């Protein structure tokens, strides 16, 4: 029997830099820090951005002092703005479009990120009772991404994000079910040793887990939406069932060959 190719349902929610005009390398400002080797004003191309919109130091970002670039993900916003909202025209060939292209980047990124979470919600069997609402929210969010530049700039994306966030919280409660762990929403767990604390199936959305010790833990279905995992030590940990884990979060954490992550995410190169 011929094996059918797997369809990546989230393909349009992954950055496709070849179809983008380097928006994330131009629009935001950087401050020289542990994340960026240089100061860069907003709306100014990074000196490492090549004429073909590729990064000239892509393979050496961490070694050259730009780890902040490795933990950023636009969730496909860059190519959507470039190809769909502006029909393939770029800020370089049409500088009069630059202001609007840069202004819609944070809006589109939030919408694409919401679509990522909603796609996961749709894949969770335990959230079946909410599938009607999840489908409606996905449709509405897709409609919003199809708006004009003016529509996107004028949108109250924060209000829509709050509505989607409430829905995702109900999804989380269903998925974590009766065996759900403690609610540590927005908790300050910076540098905490969590190896003897209850974190399995916990509510950790928005928690500050910077530098926290999670080595060897099985987090079950812990809700990690928006949790800050910078330098969190997840060596040997099992994150494969965690809710709402994203590529930027795993890129920011410190894992190893034994760390388990959801199949939809890529294993960070620096974990090897």
Q: Of 49 and 104, which has the nearer Cβ to ligand SF4?
A: 49
3-state class of 102 per DSSP? helix
Stretch 11-50: interaction string toward ligand SF4, x if CB under 6 A? --------------x--------------------x-xx-
Stretch 75-114: interaction string toward ligand SF4, x if CB under 6 A? ----------------------------------------
Q: Of 26 and 115, which has the nearer Cβ to ligand SF4?
A: 26
**If you count them, how many residues does the chain have?**
272
User: Minimum Å distance from CB 56 to ligand SF4?
Assistant: 7
User: Minimum Å distance from CB 33 to ligand SF4?
Assistant: 13
Q: Give the residue from 168, 79, 165, 93 showing the smallest Cα distance to 127.
A: 168
d(CA 171, CA 11): 23
74 binds ligand SF4 (CB under 6 A): no
User: Minimum Å distance from CB 128 to ligand SF4?
Assistant: 40
d(CA 114, CA 108): 10
d(CA 227, CA 158): 18
Write the CB contacts of 264 (distance below 8 Å, at least 6 apart in sequence).
10, 120
Size of the site for ligand SF4 (CB under 6 A): 8
Q: Of 13 and 61, which has the nearer Cβ to ligand SF4?
A: 61
User: On the CB side of 66, how many CA atoms lie within 13 Å of its CA?
Assistant: 20
CA angle 174, 138, 70 (to 5 degrees): 90
Binding footprint of ligand SF4 on the chain (CB under 6 A): 25, 46, 48-49, 55, 57, 66, 69
């Amino acid at each position: 029997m011929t094996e059918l190719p797997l369809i990546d349902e989230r393909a349009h929610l992954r950055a496709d830099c070849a179809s983008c005009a380097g928006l994330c390398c131009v629009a935001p400002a950087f401050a020289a820090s542990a994340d960026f080797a240089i100061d860069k004003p907003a709306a100014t191309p990074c000196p490492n951005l090549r004429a073909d919109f590729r990064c000239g130091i892509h393979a050496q970002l961490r070694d050259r002092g730009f780890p902040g670039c490795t933990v950023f993900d636009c969730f496909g916003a860059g190519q959507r703005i470039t190809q769909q909202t502006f029909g393939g025209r770029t800020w370089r060939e049409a500088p009069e479009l630059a202001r609007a292209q840069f202004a819609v980047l944070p809006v589109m990124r939030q919408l694409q990120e919401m679509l990522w979470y909603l796609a996961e919600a749709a894949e969770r069997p335990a959230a079946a009772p909410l599938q009607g609402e999840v489908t409606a929210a996905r449709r509405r969010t897709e409609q919003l991404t199809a708006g004009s530049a003016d529509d996107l700039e004028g949108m109250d994306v924060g209000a829509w994000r709050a509505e989607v966030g409430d829905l995702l919280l109900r999804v989380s409660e269903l998925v974590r079910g009766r065996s759900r762990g403690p609610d540590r929403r927005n908790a300050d767990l910076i540098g905490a040793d969590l190896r003897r604390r209850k974190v399995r199936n916990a509510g950790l959305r928005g928690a500050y887990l910077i530098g926290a010790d999670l080595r060897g833990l099985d987090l079950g279905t812990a809700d990690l939406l928006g949790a800050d995992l910078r330098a969190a030590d997840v060596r040997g940990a099992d994150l494969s069932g965690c809710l709402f884990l994203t590529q930027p979060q795993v890129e920011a954490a410190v894992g190893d060959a034994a760390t388990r992550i959801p199949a939809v995410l890529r294993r960070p190169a620096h974990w090897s």
